[in-house]
Amino acid sequence: MKRIRRLAFVVNESKDGASTLARELSAIARARGVGFKLTTRFPLRPGFLGGCDACCVIGGDGTLLGAAREAARAQVPIIGVNRGSLGFLTTFSADEARAQFDALLEGAFQVDRRAMLDCSTRAGAHDPALNDVLIKAEENSRIVRLEVFADGEFVTEYTCDGLIFSTPTGSTAYNLSAGGPILHPAAGVIAMTPICPHTLSNRSIIFREGVRLRVVNRTPDCRLLVALDGQRDLKVGTRAPVEIRVAKARLPLAQRPGYSHFAVVRAKLKWSGGLAEKS
């Protein structure tokens, strides 16, 4: 990657040590002659990343999700520094960021271009999501009946608490908690996972990248709520369909050279496929 000449910092002040780390990293940027600007507000306002070569997010995955929409629009790589809990997206630790920031400013990172979802709830309205699109009843306690179509073909009808449509990046988020599969970020698919379906079988369905999905509400007198990345909520009329597909724009996400997705999964989820040692 090219050398960073102008940088944006997005800092979640509610995260322990985030503000202090931002001061340390901005001092390094200033000493290297890198111009920068800083905000503690997210989601980012449109145009905030204009003229920037990269965006350094200091917080948790939720903070990064708040910057993802604008970063994808501007095609500005995000450098995620974790001051939250799991940190699947903010993969640099604070110590790694301090030690490697000079090199990062020189462009010593690789960029993964992560697929996003395009969600439409009305004609001409398109909203992106990096992790997932959740469709459920507007009233939390209600079960919904949802019909799913793929490229115009009827797939099935669910009676359930809701449906999660996940990107490979989001497969380790709500999708995983609901029993869905772990997907490699480069898989090029969409996972659909029902939440508490009223059935004796509960299986996710994996759709190809180019699919056009449509969800129709068949629940009498029930409005739907569509949640994007757990941050933006869209309310849908009782009969308005929800359409989902892979977005044209991808999120450029900075990673250290040699980054391993499954190493992150093993570390963050304490996951091992090996046999337990015999005593």
Residue type, 10: V
Q: Which of 268, 256, 254, 253 lies closest to 100 in space, CA to CA?
A: 256
36 within 8 A of 29, measured Cβ to Cβ: yes
- Give whole-number Cα distances, 142 to 228, 242, 276, in Å: 20, 18, 43
Q: How far apart are CA 142 and CA 160, in angstroms?
A: 9
Q: Which of 272, 133, 148 is nearest to 203 (CA)?
A: 148
Cis before 185 (ω within 30): no
Q: What is the rounded CA–CA span in Å between residue 276 and residue 279?
A: 9
Lateral strand order in the sheet of 78-82: 35-39, 6-11, 54-59, 78-82, 251-255, 110-114
Using CA atoms, how far apart are residues 183 and 201, in angstroms rounded to an integer? 21
Tokens of 79: 């450098």
List the catalytic residues: 61
